[in-house]
Amino acid sequence: MFADANRNAKMKQKLITVLSCSILFTFYFSYGQLDELKKSTLKAKAMLQVAEGTILPGALHTEKYVPMLKNKTIAIVANQTSLINKTHLVDSLKSLKIKIKCVFAPEHGFRGDTEAGGDITSTIDAKTKLPVISIYGKKNKPSPEDLKGVDYVVFDIQDVGARFFTYISTLEYVMDACAENKVKLIVLDRPNPNGFYVDGPVLDKNFRSFVGRQSVPIVYGLTIGEYAMMLNGENWLDCKKKCDLTVIECSNYDHSKLYSLPVPPSPNLPNMNAIYLYPSLCLFEGTGVSVGRGTDKPFQIIGTPDSTIKGYMFTPKKISHVAENPPFENQKCYGMDLTKSATSILSLKKIELKWLIGFYRNNNNQSKFFNSFFDKLAGTDQLRIMIQTDKPETEIRKSWETDLKTYKAIRKKYLLYLDFE
Protein backbone atom coordinates (compact mmCIF):
# COMPACT_ATOMS: atom_id res chain seq x y z
CA MET A 1 0.00 0.00 0.00
CA PHE A 2 2.81 2.35 0.90
CA ALA A 3 5.55 0.97 -1.33
CA ASP A 4 6.18 4.12 -3.37
CA ALA A 5 9.38 6.00 -4.15
CA ASN A 6 9.09 8.21 -1.07
CA ARG A 7 8.77 5.20 1.18
CA ASN A 8 11.78 3.53 -0.43
CA ALA A 9 13.82 6.66 0.14
CA LYS A 10 12.79 6.74 3.79
CA MET A 11 13.67 3.05 4.16
CA LYS A 12 17.16 3.66 2.73
CA GLN A 13 17.66 6.60 5.09
CA LYS A 14 16.47 4.47 8.02
CA LEU A 15 18.98 1.76 7.08
CA ILE A 16 21.80 4.32 6.98
CA THR A 17 20.71 5.70 10.37
CA VAL A 18 20.54 2.27 12.00
CA LEU A 19 23.97 1.32 10.66
CA SER A 20 25.48 4.60 11.84
CA CYS A 21 23.97 4.20 15.30
CA SER A 22 25.16 0.60 15.44
CA ILE A 23 28.73 1.68 14.72
CA LEU A 24 28.58 4.41 17.38
CA PHE A 25 27.06 1.99 19.86
CA THR A 26 29.88 -0.52 19.25
CA PHE A 27 32.47 2.12 20.13
CA TYR A 28 30.53 3.37 23.14
CA PHE A 29 29.73 0.07 24.83
CA SER A 30 31.27 -3.35 25.24
CA TYR A 31 29.31 -6.41 24.24
CA GLY A 32 30.88 -8.29 27.14
CA GLN A 33 32.05 -11.70 26.01
CA LEU A 34 31.01 -11.30 22.38
CA ASP A 35 34.02 -11.52 20.09
CA GLU A 36 34.49 -9.53 16.90
CA LEU A 37 32.91 -12.24 14.75
CA LYS A 38 29.73 -12.23 16.84
CA LYS A 39 29.60 -8.44 16.69
CA SER A 40 29.84 -8.56 12.91
CA THR A 41 27.12 -11.21 12.79
CA LEU A 42 24.77 -9.06 14.89
CA LYS A 43 25.38 -6.07 12.62
CA ALA A 44 24.78 -8.14 9.50
CA LYS A 45 21.57 -9.53 10.98
CA ALA A 46 20.34 -6.02 11.85
CA MET A 47 21.15 -4.84 8.30
CA LEU A 48 19.20 -7.74 6.81
CA GLN A 49 16.17 -7.19 9.08
CA VAL A 50 15.88 -3.49 8.29
CA ALA A 51 16.53 -4.00 4.58
CA GLU A 52 13.76 -6.59 4.38
CA GLY A 53 11.32 -4.45 6.32
CA THR A 54 11.03 -6.78 9.31
CA ILE A 55 9.12 -5.19 12.17
CA LEU A 56 11.55 -4.40 15.00
CA PRO A 57 10.21 -3.55 18.48
CA GLY A 58 11.69 -0.55 20.26
CA ALA A 59 13.68 -2.74 22.66
CA LEU A 60 15.92 -3.85 19.80
CA HIS A 61 17.08 -0.27 19.24
CA THR A 62 19.56 -0.35 22.11
CA GLU A 63 21.60 2.41 20.48
CA LYS A 64 18.72 4.82 21.17
CA TYR A 65 18.23 4.25 24.89
CA VAL A 66 21.24 2.50 26.45
CA PRO A 67 23.40 5.67 26.21
CA MET A 68 20.70 7.46 28.24
CA LEU A 69 21.05 4.87 31.01
CA LYS A 70 24.86 4.96 31.29
CA ASN A 71 25.91 5.78 34.90
CA LYS A 72 22.24 5.99 35.95
CA THR A 73 20.15 3.92 38.35
CA ILE A 74 17.06 2.39 36.77
CA ALA A 75 14.00 0.29 37.55
CA ILE A 76 12.36 -1.93 34.94
CA VAL A 77 8.71 -2.84 34.38
CA ALA A 78 8.93 -6.14 32.53
CA ASN A 79 7.63 -9.65 32.03
CA GLN A 80 8.38 -12.66 29.83
CA THR A 81 7.73 -10.64 26.64
CA SER A 82 10.53 -8.15 27.39
CA LEU A 83 13.04 -9.62 24.97
CA ILE A 84 15.81 -8.32 22.76
CA ASN A 85 15.68 -11.11 20.20
CA LYS A 86 15.93 -14.11 22.58
CA THR A 87 17.63 -12.35 25.49
CA HIS A 88 15.63 -10.79 28.30
CA LEU A 89 15.90 -7.01 28.58
CA VAL A 90 17.01 -7.29 32.21
CA ASP A 91 19.82 -9.69 31.32
CA SER A 92 20.90 -7.48 28.41
CA LEU A 93 21.09 -4.33 30.52
CA LYS A 94 22.88 -6.12 33.35
CA SER A 95 25.49 -7.37 30.85
CA LEU A 96 26.06 -3.75 29.84
CA LYS A 97 26.70 -2.83 33.48
CA ILE A 98 23.54 -0.73 33.79
CA LYS A 99 22.64 -0.38 37.47
CA ILE A 100 19.18 -1.88 38.08
CA LYS A 101 17.59 -1.19 41.45
CA CYS A 102 14.53 -3.41 41.00
CA VAL A 103 12.03 -4.99 38.63
CA PHE A 104 8.32 -4.16 38.85
CA ALA A 105 6.07 -7.14 38.12
CA PRO A 106 2.61 -6.68 36.48
CA GLU A 107 -0.29 -9.14 36.29
CA HIS A 108 0.94 -12.68 35.50
CA GLY A 109 4.29 -11.86 37.13
CA PHE A 110 7.82 -11.08 36.00
CA ARG A 111 8.17 -14.51 34.38
CA GLY A 112 4.57 -14.59 33.10
CA ASP A 113 3.71 -17.83 34.88
CA THR A 114 0.71 -16.73 37.00
CA GLU A 115 -2.88 -17.04 35.79
CA ALA A 116 -5.21 -14.07 35.42
CA GLY A 117 -6.05 -12.53 38.77
CA GLY A 118 -3.46 -14.69 40.58
CA ASP A 119 -1.47 -13.27 43.47
CA ILE A 120 1.79 -11.61 42.47
CA THR A 121 4.13 -11.37 45.44
CA SER A 122 7.27 -9.32 45.86
CA THR A 123 10.33 -11.51 45.93
CA ILE A 124 13.95 -11.91 44.80
CA ASP A 125 14.32 -13.19 41.24
CA ALA A 126 16.20 -16.49 41.33
CA LYS A 127 18.10 -15.84 38.11
CA THR A 128 19.09 -12.17 38.39
CA LYS A 129 19.00 -11.83 42.20
CA LEU A 130 17.16 -8.54 41.70
CA PRO A 131 14.27 -7.45 43.94
CA VAL A 132 10.97 -8.01 42.15
CA ILE A 133 8.24 -5.68 43.41
CA SER A 134 4.63 -6.58 42.65
CA ILE A 135 2.46 -3.81 41.20
CA TYR A 136 -0.58 -5.98 40.69
CA GLY A 137 -3.20 -6.79 43.31
CA LYS A 138 -2.87 -5.09 46.68
CA LYS A 139 -0.43 -2.56 45.23
CA ASN A 140 -0.80 -1.20 41.70
CA LYS A 141 1.59 1.74 41.84
CA PRO A 142 5.31 2.09 42.66
CA SER A 143 5.79 3.91 45.95
CA PRO A 144 8.13 6.87 46.56
CA GLU A 145 10.40 4.46 48.44
CA ASP A 146 10.47 2.08 45.45
CA LEU A 147 11.58 4.95 43.23
CA LYS A 148 14.05 6.51 45.67
CA GLY A 149 17.37 7.00 43.92
CA VAL A 150 15.95 5.89 40.54
CA ASP A 151 16.78 8.10 37.55
CA TYR A 152 14.82 6.19 34.90
CA VAL A 153 12.04 3.62 34.79
CA VAL A 154 12.15 1.48 31.65
CA PHE A 155 8.77 0.01 30.63
CA ASP A 156 8.83 -2.90 28.18
CA ILE A 157 5.74 -5.10 28.04
CA GLN A 158 3.90 -6.53 25.04
CA ASP A 159 0.29 -5.31 24.96
CA VAL A 160 -2.56 -6.85 22.92
CA GLY A 161 -4.63 -3.71 22.27
CA ALA A 162 -7.75 -4.49 24.34
CA ARG A 163 -8.79 -2.10 27.11
CA PHE A 164 -9.35 -4.83 29.70
CA PHE A 165 -5.86 -6.33 29.24
CA THR A 166 -4.37 -4.80 32.36
CA TYR A 167 -0.92 -3.75 31.16
CA ILE A 168 -2.16 -0.32 30.06
CA SER A 169 -3.55 0.24 33.56
CA THR A 170 -0.15 -0.74 34.95
CA LEU A 171 1.46 1.72 32.51
CA GLU A 172 -0.82 4.49 33.75
CA TYR A 173 0.01 3.87 37.40
CA VAL A 174 3.73 3.78 36.60
CA MET A 175 3.47 7.06 34.68
CA ASP A 176 1.60 8.63 37.59
CA ALA A 177 4.29 7.52 40.05
CA CYS A 178 7.08 8.77 37.79
CA ALA A 179 5.39 12.16 37.36
CA GLU A 180 4.87 12.55 41.10
CA ASN A 181 8.43 11.53 41.97
CA LYS A 182 10.19 13.31 39.08
CA VAL A 183 11.55 10.09 37.60
CA LYS A 184 12.01 9.83 33.84
CA LEU A 185 10.18 7.08 31.96
CA ILE A 186 11.31 5.28 28.83
CA VAL A 187 8.69 3.17 27.05
CA LEU A 188 10.17 0.63 24.65
CA ASP A 189 7.35 0.44 22.15
CA ARG A 190 6.03 -2.80 20.69
CA PRO A 191 3.53 -3.36 17.85
CA ASN A 192 -0.13 -3.81 18.70
CA PRO A 193 -1.37 -7.15 17.28
CA ASN A 194 -4.93 -5.74 17.33
CA GLY A 195 -3.84 -2.30 16.17
CA PHE A 196 -5.51 -2.54 12.76
CA TYR A 197 -8.97 -1.40 13.90
CA VAL A 198 -10.90 0.54 16.57
CA ASP A 199 -14.20 -0.73 17.94
CA GLY A 200 -16.44 -1.23 20.95
CA PRO A 201 -18.15 0.92 23.55
CA VAL A 202 -16.10 3.79 24.99
CA LEU A 203 -15.66 3.48 28.74
CA ASP A 204 -18.01 5.48 30.97
CA LYS A 205 -15.96 6.72 33.95
CA ASN A 206 -18.73 5.48 36.27
CA PHE A 207 -17.43 1.98 35.47
CA ARG A 208 -13.75 2.73 35.91
CA SER A 209 -11.66 -0.13 37.32
CA PHE A 210 -8.31 -1.84 36.80
CA VAL A 211 -9.72 -3.46 33.64
CA GLY A 212 -10.57 -0.04 32.23
CA ARG A 213 -9.46 3.34 33.52
CA GLN A 214 -9.86 5.79 30.63
CA SER A 215 -12.56 6.75 28.13
CA VAL A 216 -11.29 4.60 25.29
CA PRO A 217 -13.08 1.83 23.37
CA ILE A 218 -12.44 -1.84 23.99
CA VAL A 219 -10.17 -1.96 20.93
CA TYR A 220 -8.30 1.35 20.95
CA GLY A 221 -5.88 0.97 18.03
CA LEU A 222 -2.69 2.35 19.61
CA THR A 223 0.65 0.86 20.52
CA ILE A 224 1.55 1.05 24.19
CA GLY A 225 3.93 3.92 23.38
CA GLU A 226 1.21 5.86 21.59
CA TYR A 227 -1.15 5.14 24.49
CA ALA A 228 1.43 6.56 26.93
CA MET A 229 1.63 9.73 24.83
CA MET A 230 -2.16 10.02 24.93
CA LEU A 231 -2.25 9.66 28.73
CA ASN A 232 0.29 12.47 28.96
CA GLY A 233 -1.13 14.69 26.24
CA GLU A 234 -4.75 14.51 27.41
CA ASN A 235 -3.75 15.14 31.03
CA TRP A 236 -5.35 11.86 32.11
CA LEU A 237 -2.91 10.97 34.89
CA ASP A 238 -4.45 11.13 38.37
CA CYS A 239 -1.71 13.46 39.63
CA LYS A 240 -2.51 15.95 36.82
CA LYS A 241 1.18 16.30 36.08
CA LYS A 242 3.14 15.45 32.94
CA CYS A 243 5.37 12.41 32.99
CA ASP A 244 8.88 12.98 31.57
CA LEU A 245 8.33 10.45 28.78
CA THR A 246 10.52 9.06 26.01
CA VAL A 247 9.09 6.51 23.56
CA ILE A 248 11.56 4.34 21.64
CA GLU A 249 9.69 3.61 18.44
CA CYS A 250 9.36 0.38 16.49
CA SER A 251 10.83 0.12 13.00
CA ASN A 252 8.89 -0.90 9.88
CA TYR A 253 5.55 -1.04 11.69
CA ASP A 254 2.29 0.69 10.82
CA HIS A 255 -1.31 0.11 11.85
CA SER A 256 -2.23 -1.63 8.61
CA LYS A 257 0.25 -4.44 9.32
CA LEU A 258 -0.33 -7.65 11.23
CA TYR A 259 2.24 -8.61 13.85
CA SER A 260 2.63 -12.14 15.17
CA LEU A 261 3.80 -12.18 18.77
CA PRO A 262 6.97 -14.23 19.38
CA VAL A 263 6.06 -14.87 23.04
CA PRO A 264 2.57 -15.43 24.54
CA PRO A 265 1.65 -12.24 26.45
CA SER A 266 -0.17 -14.18 29.18
CA PRO A 267 -0.76 -17.86 30.07
CA ASN A 268 -4.25 -17.97 28.51
CA LEU A 269 -3.38 -16.20 25.26
CA PRO A 270 -1.17 -18.93 23.77
CA ASN A 271 -1.44 -18.08 20.06
CA MET A 272 -2.62 -15.51 17.55
CA ASN A 273 -6.11 -17.02 17.24
CA ALA A 274 -6.66 -16.32 20.94
CA ILE A 275 -5.21 -12.82 20.64
CA TYR A 276 -7.46 -11.89 17.70
CA LEU A 277 -10.54 -13.34 19.44
CA TYR A 278 -9.72 -11.91 22.87
CA PRO A 279 -11.46 -8.49 22.44
CA SER A 280 -14.72 -10.33 21.58
CA LEU A 281 -14.46 -13.26 23.99
CA CYS A 282 -13.20 -11.54 27.14
CA LEU A 283 -16.69 -10.11 27.60
CA PHE A 284 -17.81 -13.68 28.36
CA GLU A 285 -15.70 -13.48 31.55
CA GLY A 286 -18.57 -11.35 32.85
CA THR A 287 -21.07 -14.13 32.21
CA GLY A 288 -21.64 -17.75 33.17
CA VAL A 289 -19.99 -19.00 29.97
CA SER A 290 -16.56 -20.65 29.85
CA VAL A 291 -13.99 -19.22 27.43
CA GLY A 292 -11.95 -22.41 27.50
CA ARG A 293 -9.75 -21.81 30.52
CA GLY A 294 -8.42 -25.21 31.53
CA THR A 295 -8.20 -26.48 27.94
CA ASP A 296 -5.67 -26.25 25.12
CA LYS A 297 -7.83 -23.60 23.41
CA PRO A 298 -8.36 -20.76 25.91
CA PHE A 299 -10.12 -17.75 24.39
CA GLN A 300 -10.88 -19.80 21.29
CA ILE A 301 -13.85 -21.87 22.48
CA ILE A 302 -16.99 -21.03 24.45
CA GLY A 303 -19.58 -23.18 26.17
CA THR A 304 -21.45 -24.26 29.30
CA PRO A 305 -22.67 -27.63 30.66
CA ASP A 306 -26.31 -26.74 29.99
CA SER A 307 -25.90 -24.96 26.66
CA THR A 308 -28.48 -25.63 23.98
CA ILE A 309 -25.71 -25.01 21.41
CA LYS A 310 -24.32 -28.52 20.90
CA GLY A 311 -21.87 -28.04 18.06
CA TYR A 312 -18.70 -28.57 20.13
CA MET A 313 -17.79 -30.19 23.45
CA PHE A 314 -14.88 -29.62 25.86
CA THR A 315 -14.04 -30.41 29.48
CA PRO A 316 -12.01 -27.86 31.49
CA LYS A 317 -9.26 -29.33 33.67
CA LYS A 318 -6.92 -27.83 36.23
CA ILE A 319 -3.67 -26.67 34.63
CA SER A 320 -0.92 -25.51 37.00
CA HIS A 321 -0.10 -21.76 36.73
CA VAL A 322 -2.59 -21.40 33.86
CA ALA A 323 -6.00 -22.46 35.14
CA GLU A 324 -5.88 -23.46 38.80
CA ASN A 325 -9.68 -23.33 39.23
CA PRO A 326 -11.23 -23.09 35.76
CA PRO A 327 -15.00 -22.52 35.46
CA PHE A 328 -16.89 -25.83 35.11
CA GLU A 329 -13.82 -27.86 36.06
CA ASN A 330 -14.25 -31.53 35.05
CA GLN A 331 -17.68 -30.83 33.55
CA LYS A 332 -18.59 -31.37 29.90
CA CYS A 333 -19.31 -28.03 28.26
CA TYR A 334 -21.19 -27.58 24.99
CA GLY A 335 -20.80 -24.67 22.67
CA MET A 336 -18.57 -23.47 19.82
CA ASP A 337 -15.02 -23.80 18.56
CA LEU A 338 -14.10 -20.37 17.16
CA THR A 339 -10.52 -21.01 16.07
CA LYS A 340 -11.40 -20.52 12.40
CA SER A 341 -13.41 -17.38 13.20
CA ALA A 342 -10.25 -15.41 14.04
CA THR A 343 -9.73 -14.87 10.30
CA SER A 344 -13.15 -13.21 10.02
CA ILE A 345 -12.14 -10.76 12.75
CA LEU A 346 -9.16 -9.80 10.59
CA SER A 347 -11.32 -9.11 7.56
CA LEU A 348 -14.28 -7.47 9.34
CA LYS A 349 -12.16 -5.46 11.80
CA LYS A 350 -14.74 -5.43 14.56
CA ILE A 351 -15.68 -6.92 17.89
CA GLU A 352 -17.97 -9.86 17.17
CA LEU A 353 -21.22 -9.60 19.20
CA LYS A 354 -23.24 -12.40 17.67
CA TRP A 355 -21.74 -15.05 19.97
CA LEU A 356 -22.53 -13.08 23.13
CA ILE A 357 -26.05 -12.26 21.97
CA GLY A 358 -26.62 -15.85 20.82
CA PHE A 359 -25.55 -17.42 24.13
CA TYR A 360 -27.73 -14.98 26.06
CA ARG A 361 -30.81 -15.69 23.97
CA ASN A 362 -30.26 -19.45 24.21
CA ASN A 363 -29.74 -19.41 27.98
CA ASN A 364 -32.39 -21.02 30.17
CA ASN A 365 -31.77 -18.58 33.05
CA GLN A 366 -31.23 -15.18 31.46
CA SER A 367 -31.60 -13.34 34.78
CA LYS A 368 -28.33 -14.89 35.95
CA PHE A 369 -26.46 -14.82 32.64
CA PHE A 370 -24.49 -11.63 33.39
CA ASN A 371 -22.45 -11.19 36.57
CA SER A 372 -21.24 -8.00 38.27
CA PHE A 373 -17.94 -8.05 36.34
CA PHE A 374 -19.57 -7.64 32.92
CA ASP A 375 -20.22 -3.89 33.10
CA LYS A 376 -16.60 -3.28 34.15
CA LEU A 377 -15.34 -5.25 31.15
CA ALA A 378 -17.75 -3.50 28.79
CA GLY A 379 -16.99 -0.14 30.42
CA THR A 380 -20.69 0.65 30.48
CA ASP A 381 -24.02 -0.87 31.52
CA GLN A 382 -25.61 -0.01 28.17
CA LEU A 383 -24.29 -3.06 26.31
CA ARG A 384 -25.80 -5.39 28.89
CA ILE A 385 -29.09 -3.49 29.00
CA MET A 386 -29.45 -3.46 25.21
CA ILE A 387 -28.80 -7.19 25.01
CA GLN A 388 -31.30 -7.85 27.81
CA THR A 389 -33.94 -5.78 26.02
CA ASP A 390 -33.39 -7.67 22.74
CA LYS A 391 -32.02 -4.72 20.80
CA PRO A 392 -30.62 -5.77 17.39
CA GLU A 393 -26.85 -5.77 16.89
CA THR A 394 -27.07 -2.89 14.41
CA GLU A 395 -28.71 -0.69 17.05
CA ILE A 396 -26.11 -1.67 19.66
CA ARG A 397 -23.28 -0.73 17.31
CA LYS A 398 -24.97 2.55 16.43
CA SER A 399 -24.99 3.46 20.13
CA TRP A 400 -21.18 3.53 20.07
CA GLU A 401 -20.77 5.76 17.02
CA THR A 402 -20.72 9.25 18.57
CA ASP A 403 -18.26 8.33 21.33
CA LEU A 404 -16.08 6.41 18.88
CA LYS A 405 -15.89 9.43 16.60
CA THR A 406 -14.78 11.61 19.51
CA TYR A 407 -12.17 9.07 20.58
CA LYS A 408 -10.79 8.63 17.06
CA ALA A 409 -10.17 12.38 16.82
CA ILE A 410 -8.16 12.20 20.06
CA ARG A 411 -6.31 9.07 18.94
CA LYS A 412 -5.06 10.64 15.72
CA LYS A 413 -3.06 13.23 17.67
CA TYR A 414 -0.79 10.57 19.13
CA LEU A 415 -0.11 8.25 16.18
CA LEU A 416 3.58 7.51 15.71
CA TYR A 417 2.93 5.16 12.80
CA LEU A 418 0.87 5.28 9.61
CA ASP A 419 -2.79 4.53 10.27
CA PHE A 420 -4.89 1.72 8.82
CA GLU A 421 -7.37 4.14 7.21
What's the predicted TM-score (pTM) here?
0.86
| 421 residues of the chain, pLDDT tens digit each | 333 434 444 444 444 344 434 433 333 333 343 443 344 335 434 444 444 689 999 999 999 999 999 999 999 999 999 999 899 999 999 999 999 999 999 886 676 545 444 455 667 887 888 999 999 888 999 999 999 999 999 999 999 999 999 999 999 999 999 999 999 999 999 999 999 999 999 999 999 999 999 999 999 999 999 999 999 999 999 999 999 999 999 999 999 999 999 999 999 999 999 999 999 999 999 999 999 999 999 999 999 999 988 889 999 999 987 888 999 999 999 999 999 999 999 999 999 999 999 999 999 889 999 999 999 999 999 999 999 999 999 999 999 999 999 999 999 999 999 999 8
Q: Could you tell me how far CA 135 lies from the centroid of its own chain? A: 16
